[in-house]
Structure 1
Amino acid sequence: MPHTTGKSMQEMGLDSLTSRFRDSLSYNSDTNNKNKPDFKELDLGSPVSPLMTRSSVSGGNGGGVAATTSSCSSGTSSGSVSSKTSNAQLGKRSDSKSNNHSGELSVSSETSPRASETVRSGTTPRNWRPAHRRSVSAGPPLIYSGGSVNTCISTNASTNTATSSSSSISIASTTTVFPSGNICPSGKIVKSGLACRASNKTDVLGSGCGNYGHGSIVRGGGVKLDSNVNTSGGSNANVQSGGESVMGKRAMGNSDPEEVKKAGNELYRRGHFGEALALYDRAISLSPENSAYRSNRAAALTVLGRLPEAVRECEEAVRLDPGYGRAHQRLGSLYLRFGQVEKSYRHLCIPGQQPDQSELQKLKSLEKHLKQCEDARKLGDWKSVLRESEAAIATGAESSPQLVACKAEALLKLHQLEDAESSLTNTPKFENYPSSCLPTKFFGILIEAYVLYVRAQVEMALGRFENAVVAAEKAGLIDCSNVEVMRVSNKVKKVANARSQGNDLFSSGRFAEACSAYGEGLKYDSSNSVLYCNRAVCRSKLRQWEQSVEDCNQALKIQPNYIKALLRRAVSNAKLDRWAEAVRDYEVLRRDLPGDNEVAESLHRAQVALKKSHGEELHNVKFGSEVEEVSSLDKFKAAISSPGVSVVHFKVESNEKCEEISPFINMLCVRYPYVNFFKVDVEESLSIAKAESIRTIPTFKIYKNGEKVKEMVRPSHQFLEDSVRTCSL
């Protein structure tokens, strides 16, 4: 639509523009958004950078507001749009605000009559269509792909009146369908038929770090830095994920320790703690006397689980700057994790600094549980010791070796040897342990000596006497003045010596003397299951079956899963014709040692003897018999009518459930040799299936002397075995 370009601004009706805006539109004078970089959803390959230039807004009197809008030119085709831009402002960086993003440009331009009318009406003209820009200064040309889109037009209007007022108007409008190929006058292209989408991340302009040039749009976000990490001075490293290695390499070549620290802080925020640690090391090498670098290095080491090193770094930071509150707080928290109550209090509660209430509460709770644990230990209340030691560890002292050892000691006294051994295995090692923690005492014993003191007792209880002696000797060397440590050290040596003598005597066939040697060891350690079991073997050799059973009972009372004691007791009970007790022990051994043929045969003989002792007649009882397959109805009737107990497995060869339970039936056949086991394939033996009314597989039926006593459909392994055992008694 052509118009006359020679009209003055007054004739174009701009005098009343401000008042009309005030009456019909809501003004937005907020200038905080002017520094936001443009957002680009779809780049269609324009050779011009999609980063739009900004309008320069100056506040106060005499400040003009330049709008980026369209003005028509009569020298172009209908619908062509061009923008008149002041060459003095093009490419000039705005100085009106100190917080402009680096690389952002500000320009000013005149307002065209077409734009004025659009603003006045508050809507888009009915026949208006976006057209080509002739001037590159008006903004980068981008091409529409066609379709209806929602656009957001931001117009800055200026009037050179006596008051030099300025205002910014934001108008939302919906345009008609754009023909494919049209030039987009806006700085933003949206896909056809979609509404404007706001980014949920803050966009910033890159400062030239990493793979992004100065002024490039970079998405914000990242990992939040620990509140105690020193980040003074900010960070110049606004780099997208993937640029950390580049940033780290550049920072490693920097000779300014503060810049290296800033880059390390940025990597710490992003969760790249190993790379951050390397940069903190670099900063320390450039400035070894800086306490903040030491404290930040401690933060990275803590996250990486290298707590002893973190303690040393914090100690060095405090030495360099005794008033450095952050280093004191971190050191107090680390001492809490090591169970060092007094040292933790000393650093968390320094004069002139408010302690971390959360850490302080943990510390008070730890102190309470330690006191109760000590009182219970003096009374020999080992259940309370176990409970309080676990509670103390749960407060946050999970890296305390003395507390873990205390838990192991309680488990040992409660005869839970496997758990005690497992607990000691998880005890934090003393290698590279903070030297400041070693002089601390626990129950009056130096903590390193206490851990070895407990380990010696656990090793001795498990029969590893050589290891026990080594641990006891080390504990004595570390804390030779402690009476309790020296007492345990002497006891371990005497018990180990008695056991060695007993073994030598047993090997030479002097069983009575061996019994005496083992008994001498039991005088020093009355809860040693190994010595009891060794003496039981000697007594069985002397045919003292009753005394052998008693020693085995003592050993199993201390260590319930002691395989050697179970086997020795089963043998001794069998010699005493106590077949029920022997069968019970052999069945436990059979479950624990499924591949041991000697145990299986002993169980078979004990079961047969038990049946005979009850007066039952056994026919064709063979060890290791297999499940017999029955295919005809006559053979099936003969099988279930045989004397004793018969178990029939009704199955189908291709059924998954039947395949899964068949190996278990084979094992039961070995475990219960006096029970007859049969199997019937119901697909191949339809007459049997019909006669027994089999509708679901697998089905099991138990017969006793021809009478059906139980029927089970898809039973569990345990239920099936229990039923076989019960019916066979």
Structure 2
Amino acid sequence: MGGGDKCTPSSEDDAHDVNGGHEKQQGSKEAEELKNQGNELYQAGRVKDALSKFDEAVSKSPDVAVYRANKAAALSSLGRLGEAMLESKKAVELDDNYARAHERLANLCLRLGRFKEAKKHFEKAGEGGKDGQKRADQLDQHAKAALCARDKGEWEKALREADATIQGGADADCTLLGVKAEALQNLGRSDEAEKARAQAEKAAADAGTPAIRDPVISMLRAKIAASTGNFDGAVAAAERAVKLDPDNCAAIQTLKQVRALANARTRGNDLFKAGDFGGAEKAYSEGLETPLGKENAFLLSNRAAARSKQGHWEEALADADKATRAYPNYSKAKLRRAHAYRNLGRHEEAVRDLEELAAAAPYDADLGRELWEANRELAQSRGEDVSGWKFTPPGGLVDVTSDQQYRERVNGPGLVVGYFTATWCGPCRQIAPVIKKLPEKYPGLSIMKVDIDSHQQLAAAEGVASVPTFKVYKNGRKVNEITGANAPLLDQVISQNLQDILKKV
């Protein structure tokens, strides 16, 4: 069966005859009609509507196993596994010889990681359950191996065995998803760990199990949040773990460790802002020495900044490099590594890092200038003449030559102004000198100049009724529109919206 978001019947929950020909008991005529209507809706992929009909059938004849089984099939397709299991259990309690209901219940148990229970119901499912028994045994072995590896700290093996269990069919086992998240976290793969943790929480919620209230998941969330720089979130998650189980020693210890980490970061930041870079370095180092702080990319990056301020470039490079390797998407760490490379004369490596950063933020004027400076330093180191080099900020005033060019740019990153004008327009000529100077005043700003006579279709599609008209886009979304030659208003709108776009990486 597929995951909880699947809305069409799978081969395993075939609602056109979910009772598998099991016609020993029927309810009232009205209940039978509701069941048949539900089956038709289920076949058509209208699972929620089908569930409503099955639910009505159960209310009319609550002691009919078939109606319970049909309802379980619909609940399962909607990802409501805990409720589906309850209905399946009621079905087999009403009729222990109902093989198809046993098979469905076994598959639900399998998905939820209840392998012994799954095997018991597969045994009662007749011929259709023989392969299921073997699969339950195999998954049980993988699950035990994953838990054993987790207890020993063998994270590669724990991840491998957890994946084998989940991919083998236990896709809603919140315990194994939690093991996977913990293994990924300890292997330095924080982004993947967070996804697995979220899946574990969702699986627990879908199953309606008490695991969602288990402090283990909150502790895991705290550790992942700390590793991704969300120190406040880490403290909140650890506090929740303790609240859920005040006597849980592991939860109490996690809270102490997370608080120590967060306090070290805060203390270091305060000292850094006060200009005490040596004190800041010491505070960050204390945080890195805590159990949860080892290899923390965000503390390493902060310590790199403190060491850079003291001119300790080799040490700063080591920290920034570790931070970048631990958390590749952390652009600040990569920028600090580039700074260290430049100051150590390692120009090629500096250019490489800055090119990667600039590719992700092509309209960041400060980053563009730094890349230009690094390229100039690289050229100088090779003996090239750089006297004629001139920095051109990204963006600028561009004459639009095609509709596609305009659309690609306004839908792209940064702040972009669509400037609709005409040669015969007096107010357009009046404001033109102001427009020309805007990219100089606001480096990184792009202005796409559209002559409405040359691009009539584009002007019509954009609803331009008069000129000049200015359409302001921020990261592909239109945020403002100005009609008329109102230079002060245009300047104000650009200034307000450009702040977020051109902040440092």
Structure 1 and Structure 2 fold alike (TM over 0.5)? yes
Give the fraction of aligned pairs with identical amino acids, expressed as a percent: 37
- What displacement does 1:269 show? 5.3
Contact map agreement 2:284 2:300 (CA 8 A) in 1: yes
Contact map agreement 2:242 2:252 (CA 8 A) in 1: yes
CA distance in 2, matches of 1:297, 1:546: 66
Kindly provide the CA deviation profile for residues 626-670 of structure 1, in whole angstroms up to 9, marking residues without a partner as x.
9xxxxxxxxxxxxxxxxxxxxxxxxxx99x9xxx9xxxxxxxxxx
- What displacement does 1:259 show? 4.2
2:193 match: 420
CA distance in 1, matches of 2:183, 2:96: 41
Kindly provide the CA deviation profile for residues 401-460 of structure 1, in whole angstroms up to 9, marking residues without a partner as x.
33223222222222222322333344452675445x437xxxxxx983333332221111
Kindly provide the CA deviation profile for residues 520-577 of structure 1, in whole angstroms up to 9, marking residues without a partner as x.
1111121211111111112222232222222112212312332111111222332333
| Aligned-residue CA RMSD (Å) | 3.4
2:104 match: 330
**Aligned counterpart for 1:554 among listed residues 322, 341, 352:** 322
**Aligned counterpart for 1:225 among listed residues 16, 20, 28:** 16
1:624 match: 392
CA distance in 2, matches of 1:503, 1:619: 40
Kindly provide the CA deviation profile for residues 346-390 of structure 1, in whole angstroms up to 9, marking residues without a partner as x.
43346x966712322221221121122223323433222222221
What secondary structure does 2:202 align onto?
A: coil
What secondary structure does 2:323 align onto?
A: helix
1:340 match: 114
**Aligned counterpart for 2:377 among listed residues 606, 609, 631:** 609
Contact map agreement 1:590 1:600 (CA 8 A) in 2: yes
1:279 aligns with 2:17: no
2:272 match: 506
1:456 match: 222
1:526 aligns with 2:272: no
2:307 match: 539
Which segment is superposed worse, 522-531 or 377-386? 377-386
- What displacement does 1:496 show? 1.5
2:73 match: 299
Contact map agreement 2:19 2:66 (CA 8 A) in 1: no
Kindly provide the CA deviation profile for residues 147-190 of structure 1, in whole angstroms up to 9, marking residues without a partner as x.
xxxxxxxxxxxxxxxxxxxxxxxxxxxxxxxxxxxxxxxxxxxx
Which runs of structure 2 are paired with 1:183-202 in the superposition (5 Å)? none
2:356 match: 588
Misfit runs of 4+, over 6 Å: 352-355
Kindly provide the CA deviation profile for residues 278-323 of structure 1, in whole angstroms up to 9, marking residues without a partner as x.
2221122222343432222101222333322212222343555566
Contact map agreement 2:181 2:193 (CA 8 A) in 1: yes
2:239 match: 473
Which runs of structure 2 are paired with 1:324-723 in the superposition (5 Å)? 325-349=99-123, 356-427=129-200, 429=202, 432-435=205-208, 437-438=209-210, 448-479=214-245, 483-524=249-290, 525-624=293-392
Larger Rg over CA atoms: 1
1:66 match: none
Task: State the TM-score, normalized to the length of structure 2.
Answer: 0.67
Which runs of structure 2 are paired with 1:20-35 in the superposition (5 Å)? none
Which runs of structure 2 are paired with 1:113-262 in the superposition (5 Å)? 225-226=16-17, 228-229=19-20, 232=23, 256-262=30-36
Name which structure has the greater RCO, CA cutoff 8 Å, separation 6+: 2
Contact map agreement 1:570 1:585 (CA 8 A) in 2: yes
- What displacement does 1:623 show? 1.5
Cα distance change of structure 1 residues 452 and 459 upon mapping to structure 2, 3 Å threshold: same
- What displacement does 1:625 show? 9.0
Gaps of 5+ in 1: 1-222, 236-250, 440-445, 627-652, 661-729
Which segment is superposed worse, 305-314 or 483-492? 483-492
Which segment is superposed worse, 571-580 or 519-528? 571-580
Task: State the TM-score, normalized to the length of structure 1.
Answer: 0.48
Cα distance change of structure 1 residues 582 and 267 upon mapping to structure 2, 3 Å threshold: closer
What secondary structure does 1:225 align onto?
A: helix
Which segment is superposed worse, 596-605 or 566-575? 566-575
Contact map agreement 1:302 1:310 (CA 8 A) in 2: yes
Contact map agreement 2:296 2:323 (CA 8 A) in 1: yes
CA distance in 1, matches of 2:53, 2:119: 31
- What displacement does 1:229 show? 4.9
- What displacement does 1:230 show? 6.2
Contact map agreement 1:469 1:489 (CA 8 A) in 2: yes
Contact map agreement 1:231 1:262 (CA 8 A) in 2: no
Contact map agreement 1:399 1:428 (CA 8 A) in 2: no
- What displacement does 1:519 show? 1.3
CA distance in 2, matches of 1:269, 1:568: 58
Gaps of 5+ in 2: 1-13, 395-400, 409-505
Amino acid across the alignment from 2:242: G
Cα distance change of structure 1 residues 315 and 509 upon mapping to structure 2, 3 Å threshold: farther
Amino acid across the alignment from 1:225: H
CA distance in 2, matches of 1:431, 1:338: 9
Amino acid across the alignment from 1:411: L
CA distance in 2, matches of 1:370, 1:605: 55
- What displacement does 1:480 show? 5.1
Amino acid across the alignment from 1:587: E
Contact map agreement 1:317 1:327 (CA 8 A) in 2: yes
- What displacement does 1:517 show? 1.6
CA distance in 2, matches of 1:373, 1:431: 19
What secondary structure does 2:170 align onto?
A: coil
CA distance in 2, matches of 1:625, 1:596: 9
CA distance in 1, matches of 2:127, 2:241: 40
In proportion to residue count, which structure has more helix? 2
In proportion to residue count, which structure has more strand? 1
